[in-house]
Amino acid sequence: MRSMRAAAAAALIVSLTACGGATSGAGEDEPSSGAKGTVNLAINPWVGYEANAAVIAYLLEKKMGYTVEKKELKEEIAWQGFETGEVDAIVENWGHPDLKKTYIEDKKVAVEVGPTGNQGVIGWYVPEWMTQQYPDITDYKSLNKYANLFKTSESKGKGQFLAGDPSFVTNDEALVTNLKLNYTVVYSGSEAAIIKAAQQATAQKKPLLFYFYEPQWLFAQEKYVRVKLPAYSEGCDADLKKVACDYPDYVLDKIASKKFADTGGAAYQFIKNFTWTNDDQNLVSDYLTNQGMSADQAAEKWVNEHEATWKPWIPA
Amino acid sequence: MAPMIAVTDLWKVFGPRAGRIVGTPLADLPRAELRARTGCLAAVRDVSFDVEPGEVFVVMGLSGSGKSTLVRCLTRLIEPTSGEISIGGEPVRAMGPKRLRDLRRRQVAMVFQHFGLLPHRQVLDNVAYGLEIQGVPRAERHRKAGEVLALVGLDGHEHQYPDQLSGGMQQRVGLARALAADPEVLLFDEPFSALDPLIRRDMQAEVRRLHAEVGKTLVFITHDLAEALTLGDRIAVLRDGELVQVGTPEDLVGAPADSYVADFVRDVPRSDVLTLRWIMRDPGPDELCEDEPLSHRTVIRDAVHRVMRAERPIPVVDGDRRLGVIDADRMLAALVSHHRQVPA
Amino acid sequence: MTATSPPAVLRVTAAALVDATRRRGFWTRTVAAVLIVATVVAYLIFRTDGAADSDDAAAFRFFDSVRDWVDANRDTSPFFLYGVNYVRLGVRLLVDAVQAVLLGLGFAGLVAAVSAIGLVFAGWRTGLLAFGGFLAFGVLGLWEQSVDTLVLTVSAVLLSVLIGVPLGVLAARVRWVGATLRPVLDVMQIMPTFAYLAPMTLLFLIGEPAAVIATMIYAVPATIRITALGISEVPPTAVEAATALGSTRWQLLSKVRLPMARTTIVLAVNQTIMLALSMVVITALIDAPGLGQNIVNALQRVNVGAAFDAGVAIVILAVVLDRITTNAARRTRVHQNRRRRAIVAGGAIVAVIAAALITINPDRLPGYTFAEPVNDLVGWIELHWYDVTEGLKNGISAGILDPLETVLVTTPWWLFVLVVAAFGTLVSGWRAAGLAALAAAGIAGLGLWQHSMQTLATVLVAIALTMVIGVATGAFCARHDRLATAIRPVLDAAQTMPSFVYLLPAVALFGASRFTAIVAAVIFAVPPVVRLVERGLRDVPATVVEAATSAGSTPRQLLWKVQLPMARGGLLLAANQGIVMVLAMVVVGGLVGAGALGYDVVAGFSQRELFGEGLAAGLAIVLLGILLDRLTQGFHDSKGPRR
Ligand SMILES: Nc1ncnc2c1ncn2[C@@H]1O[C@H](COP(=O)(O)OP(=O)(O)O)[C@@H](O)[C@H]1O
Ligand SMILES: [Mg+2]
């Protein structure tokens, strides 16, 4: 198979030379055509996304006979994958109007495939015990008063605001500046690191102000309270450097490469049909994170228990 | 007969812009001063000599006197600065790269002090290397290499690697490699200096034997006078890049051109090198002589016995011509004296 | 009378020597003191308030516009259509071909093939090691990932050899090529892996081709350098002899130089493989498949156990490849019976073909994973050592790191440049100092002054810790043979582990902080430092040690007054090596909260708006590397013996 592809690609080189150069996608895997092929799923680095991908991959493989390749990619890089043909679909996208403009409108290598059914919330959070001890802490205006509580080795004498993966959608640094908060943004590097810090903050009653989001399984176990920032209004985040308002609510959606949309057949249709609730996702995330299940095990368990939810996704 | 090798006014100057030296007053400066003034080193200065076909021509000198440079100039392993060289009547300096390679492949081969064998090749393939690069087919070159190896007494070692052989044997491989392409001229650059004295003597004997058997023209570099005397038909003495004297061993020992050469040959037992020619005298008028003459080529030592026991002087002849006579007095003087001798 | 017994003589001579050095050192010391005072005064007068970097520097905008141009022209500009895209396509073909071969063999076939290669080229022990090692991938449940990593590594090594060996030969044979390549290779070798991921994705997009090219760029300097060394070390006598026999230049190369340098060239391949392997893992960040994905994944989940399995697989792969190539190199020196070898090779090929026909599913092997015990251990440490780790982190951060960072950040850039130039001249000569000062000025020009100085502070603290630990351990090893023997395999394994892996235990213990990066950097850089220090100490001539001992030195005095001063060359070399490695690791630490330049780079290739800043940060890292390298390299060059 592979060698045939190599030969084909060699032939491609020759023919390309004849008719004017190689485009950036030349020689890449053809995306799965109508036949039972391979679906390349990007895996973005948070567990909610993995839950979506786990169930989608499980159903594609076990119920529909496809092969699924999962690729651990950060969001931006996953979008690049539409261009190169490395990625067929992203199954939980948080906004990214700029990427949509580049890849969907300008380059026309990707298409929107509709919402996942999940409502996305991004915000600043503190552990619940803090709201009891410092009732006004949930208002951003009083954050400066408590900055001392949040000092750490990394916060340069100010309060620490703990952010996640550098690739996540964030306005935090601009918010800190524009709201004149006496805080330093420190990037923990990953969702898992935030979760760990949050759990520690609850268990050991340590102060923590952090970037977090829903859907998120952790909320099912422990309580965290959102800090009120100036309310979001349409367009208040247009200039990323001047943002001084809270994050909007997101309708999380799915994106596919243009090629996959055109030739993906049943697999594409299936992904298009996929929608579920935050609770569904949190359940699978919980299996993944806390029950020590692999993606396949978690998906299998959920699929066995929720036939009614997924049956309609499978195209007739 | 035309000389096999003819060298005329050869210069080799190492250093920055070496070409500017020759032909100017700078060229007359002594080596050290030239070096201090220009940073250039005249390794070979204005050297001329001829080597006859079949001759063993030895170049001798102290270390650093330019011997290696001189011999490398002959096939332009070192590019001469000026002068003429011809081998087999053909000017070497006019040769293009291709012709030069051909000269090195077929006409002139060289044996090196440090052997220069290829450690990754078996002995047989080392010897066949020269033929291999000429494009000789494998079977053919292996046959030829085998023959040459037998000639130097290494049969049975074909499939060993150089580092499995002793130094002497390695140099035999070097010798075989040089002989493999059947060249007219063999150049030796101190081939036996790195060997133990006993082995060195064996190897010298080997070279003499080979010379007798295959009769090639040999240019042999050495810093060892004894070696020069045993091997050389003629010896050239080099000092600081200049030729001081060219002559037969007898010439050198009997009539050193200057104190440098004299120093060199001081410890040589004359009676071992000089012939009767150097100590004979003219016969007195009507002097009675022995009947049986001695050849003027007889080395003194070999004549001691007869001369001392003879009652009368013995005539010294060159063929039929009588050159002089030798008697016990003369003989005794030669055996004890260290005076400078002048040929009659 | 024996007034001057040998020790007395020695003492007198030593005293005289010390005196002479003192007198020579006097001026340097005075100048240094004046400079220090001047620096402090200038700092106090001119210090700034260390403003944060703007996020809109000219350099960022420039890089953004480059990105935009590339994006707009990727499928239209001839530069891409006929250049870059073909490179990408060609590399893609190479990867596919390698993959076809390795996958085509199947599990049993590949295990057999690698064992056979080990057996034929490196002896039966190595064959056995290869067999066990590759089986272990199956047991760990990481077969596919390991093969993916192997595919990328082999492709990158093939490319490196294809490009590096000819260049190495040229560098050794053609003076101007060598002279041109030297500074380029210098820069390539101090360039932290992280810095060129973004430019790679810009040119070659993401995926295997970009990963292979990035890996090749990382590994090829070693190929070139070592090949050049091998070629230039070929004894001139053999070359002369071959010339005298009438060899052409090509014959000299193919029949004399290359064969005679082959041991060294195999070693070059060995080094290339090791470097490639550590880089291939990092390219998981730009969508390269393989074990790197497991590590990235584990890092995202802060799951030390999961990373441990992948780390073990990487070390096994590294050890197998290393043993095969080093033993193969050793064997090139031994003459073997050709016939026997042909028989063994023939047998091996038959066995491999037979094995390739068997289908074994590696998933059905009995499995084992270290994840649970390792996670349990980490959990236990987290629980019980929390105060210790926290105290350590806070102590070092507040006590050393923060003050240093404050001083550096509030130093005006021109003063920093001047100080680098002045002290650089003093310790390393004006050439190195000039280059270092230029690099410093360049950093300022990129508009990332604050971040650069923060990174520099972290690097300095990490290198100080590395040197303290490394020198202590090295000195200890040099004096206790048994310890040295025991520690050597640990150092071996540590050096084959890709830098990435070290982040995990550090994150688990210290959370997201600069100190985490420092810990990872120390773990990463200490092994080579220990090596160099130990070697430096052991290289101190036995006669000197003997003389000092006979003069009545205690072991302590011996170490401090004789061995360490005499091993200075080794120590400085260690510092130089260490600092480059520390920088690389501190930057990777941007992934886990170390912030500053490393974060900028990560953010740059994960967020579109930050691309320009990320690329500028990458460049700043390179400049920082040049600065640190020139200062320390110049140091041991100017004082120690020339290399
Ligand atoms: N390539 C070179 N460059 C500069 N000087 C050289 C070179 N080769 C030889 N010399 C110098 O030329 C002189 C003669 O050297 P050489 O011919 O090797 O002497 P010999 O073989 O008689 O010992 C020596 O002083 C040597 O240092
Ligand atoms: Mg010589």
Ligand nearest the Cα atom of residue B42:
1
Q: What is the pLDDT of residues A93-136, one digit of tens each?
A: 988 888 898 899 988 889 999 999 988 889 999 999 998 999 88
SS3 A222: coil
SS3 C496: helix
What is the interface size between B and C, counted as CB pairs within 8 Å? 70
**Domains in chain B: boundaries:** 53-83+95-267, 271-341
Q: CA C381, C387, C391: angle at the middle one, nearest 5?
A: 120
CB C290 within 8 A of CB C149: yes
CA gap A294, C130 in Å, rounded: 30
Q: What are phi and psi of A119, to 5 degrees?
A: -95, 125
Sort strands B185-189 and B217-222 into parallel, antiparallel or unpaired. parallel
CA B64 – ligand 1 centroid, Å: 6
CA B92 – ligand 2 centroid, Å: 22
Contact: A167, C606; criterion CB under 8 Å: yes
B140 to chain C, any CB pair closer than 8 A? The answer is no
Question: Omega before A135 cis (within 30°)?
Answer: no
Among C323, C315, C82, C91, which residue's Cα sits nearest to residue C216? C91
A167 to chain C, any CB pair closer than 8 A? The answer is yes
Evaluate the CA torsion angle C530, C536, C539, C540 in order and state its sign: negative
Contact: C299, A26; criterion CB under 8 Å: no
Check residue C640 and give its pLDDT: 37
Among A188, A187, A153, A151, which residue's Cα sits nearest to residue C403? A153
Rg (C-alpha) for chain C, rounded Å, is 27
CA gap A247, A239 in Å, rounded: 13
- Biggest distance spanned by C-alpha atoms of chain C: 94
Q: What is the dihedral of CA C521, C525, C526, C532, to 10 degrees?
A: -160
CA gap B252, C318 in Å, rounded: 69
Evaluate the CA torsion angle A207, A213, A217, A219 in order and state its sign: positive
ipTM for the complex shown: 0.85
Residues of chain C contacting residue A23, judged by C-beta atoms under 8 Å apart: 74-75, 81, 85
SS3 C315: helix
| Residue corresponding to tokens 């390991």 | C146
CA gap C57, C446 in Å, rounded: 7
CA gap C478, C555 in Å, rounded: 12
Strands, sheet with B321-326, edge to edge from the N-terminal-most edge strand: B294-295, B314-318, B321-326
CB C499 within 8 A of CB C588: yes
pTM equals 0.82
Domains, chain A, ranges and CATH? 37-118+251-313 (3.40.190.10), 120-249 (3.40.190.100)
Give first-to-last CA distance, chain C, whole Å. Answer: 46
Q: Start-end ranges of CATH 1.10.3720.10 in chain C?
A: 61-378, 385-643
Q: What is the pLDDT of residues B202-240, one digit of tens each?
A: 889 988 888 988 889 999 999 988 899 889 999 999 999
Check residue B172 and give its pLDDT: 92
CB C258 within 8 A of CB C232: no
- Ligand 1, pocket residues at CB < 6 Å: B 14, 41, 43, 61, 63-69
CB B122 within 8 A of CB B198: no
CATH of segment(s) B53-83+95-267: 3.40.50.300
Tokens of B158: 């074909």
Looking at the complex, report in whole angstroms how far the Cα of residue B90 sits from the nearest Cα belonging to chain C. Answer: 17
Q: What are phi and psi of C247, to 5 degrees?
A: -70, 145
Among A277, A280, A272, A275, which residue's Cα sits nearest to residue A299? A280
Looking at the complex, report in whole angstroms how far the Cα of residue A160 sits from the nearest Cα belonging to chain C. Answer: 11
Q: What is the pLDDT of residues B49-105, one digit of tens each?
A: 999 999 999 999 999 999 999 999 999 999 999 999 999 999 999 999 999 999 999
For the residues of C562-581, what is the DSSP string, one character each? IIHHHTHHHHHHHHHHHHHH
Contact: A154, C207; criterion CB under 8 Å: no
For the residues of B42-79, what is the DSSP string, one character each? EEEEEEEEEE-TT-EEEEEE-TTSSHHHHHHHHTTSS-
Among B157, B146, B148, B62, which residue's Cα sits nearest to residue B109? B148
Check residue A1 and give its pLDDT: 42
Q: What is the pLDDT of residues A253-298, one digit of tens each?
A: 999 999 888 888 888 999 999 999 988 998 998 898 888 788 889 9
Strands, sheet with B242-247, edge to edge from the N-terminal-most edge strand: B108-111, B185-189, B217-222, B56-61, B234-239, B242-247
**Residues flanking ion ligand 2, Cβ below 5 Å:** B 68
Looking at the complex, report in whole angstroms how far the Cα of residue C427 sits from the nearest Cα belonging to chain B. Answer: 32
Tokens of B310: 């003879």
Tokens of B268: 């040589």
CATH of segment(s) C385-643: 1.10.3720.10
Beta bridge partners of residue C373, listed in sequence order: none
| Residue corresponding to tokens 């002279």 | C179
Residues of chain C contacting residue A21, judged by C-beta atoms under 8 Å apart: 78, 80-82, 85-86
The DSSP symbol for B219 reads E
C-beta atoms surrounding A182 within 10 Å: 16
Contact: B116, C237; criterion CB under 8 Å: yes
CA gap B37, C613 in Å, rounded: 59
**pLDDT tens string for chain B (344 positions)?**
689 999 999 999 998 888 888 888 888 888 888 888 888 999 999 999 999 999 999 999 999 999 999 999 999 999 999 999 999 999 999 999 999 999 999 999 999 998 899 988 999 999 999 999 999 999 999 999 999 999 888 989 999 999 899 988 999 999 999 999 899 999 999 999 888 888 888 889 988 888 988 889 999 999 988 899 889 999 999 999 999 999 998 888 888 888 888 888 888 888 888 888 888 888 888 888 888 888 888 888 888 888 888 888 898 888 888 888 888 888 888 887 655 544 44
Check residue C2 and give its pLDDT: 39
B133 to chain C, any CB pair closer than 8 A? The answer is yes
CB B233 within 8 A of CB B258: no
Q: CA A28, C300, A211: angle at the middle one, nearest 5?
A: 115
The series of mean pLDDT values per 10 residues for chain C, 643 residues long, is: 42 49 65 80 78 74 81 74 79 89 84 87 87 88 89 94 94 91 84 78 82 92 91 92 93 93 89 88 84 83 80 88 86 74 82 78 76 81 80 86 87 88 82 88 87 90 92 86 82 74 80 85 88 83 80 80 80 82 84 81 77 85 87 55 32
Number of H helices, E strands in chain A: 12, 9
A21 to chain C, any CB pair closer than 8 A? The answer is yes
Check residue A7 and give its pLDDT: 52
Instruction: Find chains touching chain A: ≥3 CB pairs under 8 Å.
Output: C
**Band of the pLDDT at A35, cuts 50, 70, 90?**
very low
Pick the CATH number of B271-341 from 1.20.58.110, 3.30.390.50, 3.10.580.10, 3.30.450.20: 3.10.580.10
In order of B124, B147, B185, B308, C586, the CA distances from B156 in angstroms are: 10, 11, 27, 51, 63
Q: What are phi and psi of C90, to 5 degrees?
A: -60, -45
Q: Which helix (H) or strand (E) holds B11?
A: strand B5-14
CB C506 within 8 A of CB C517: yes
Tokens of A186: 């420190």
CATH architecture of C61-378: Orthogonal Bundle (1.10)
Q: What are phi and psi of A257, to 5 degrees?
A: -75, 155
CA gap C534, C477 in Å, rounded: 6
